[in-house]
Amino acid sequence: MILSDFDLKAYLSSKRLKIEPLDPLIIRENGLDLRLGEQYCELRSTDQILDPYIEWDPEKFYKCEKANEYVLMPGRKYLLHTLEYIALPPELVGIVELRSTLARLGLLIPPTVVDGGFEGQLTIEVHSSSFPVKLKAGTRFLHLILMKTTTPIERPYEGRYQRQRDVMLPKRPLEYP
pLDDT value for 174:
86
Answer yes or no: is pLDDT of 176 > 80. Answer: no
Residue 51's nearest CA partner among 161, 177, 174 is 174
Q: Which residues does 34 contact at the CB level (< 8 Å), separation at least 6?
A: 26, 82, 83, 84, 86, 96, 122, 140, 141, 142, 143, 144
pLDDT value for 132:
98
| Catalytic (active-site) positions | 125
pLDDT value for 71:
97
What is the mean pLDDT of the segment spanning 47-62? 93
Query: How does residue 175 score in pLDDT terms, banded at 50, 70 and 90?
Result: confident
Q: Judge if the upstream peptide bond of residue 74 is cis by omega within 30 degrees of 0.
A: no
Buried b (16+ CB within 10 A) or exposed e, 155-171: ebbeeebeebebbbebe
Answer yes or no: is pLDDT of 43 > 90. Answer: yes
Q: Calculate the CA 131 to chain-centre distance.
A: 23
First to last CA, the chain: 34
pLDDT value for 109:
97
pLDDT value for 164:
93
- Show the domains of the chain with their CATH numbers: 5-45+59-148 (2.70.40.10)
What is the mean pLDDT of the segment spanning 122-130? 96
Answer yes or no: is pLDDT of 66 > 90. Answer: yes
pLDDT value for 17:
98
pLDDT value for 159:
86
The partner residues of 171 in beta bridges, in order of sequence, read none
pLDDT value for 171:
84
Answer yes or no: is pLDDT of 177 > 90. Answer: no
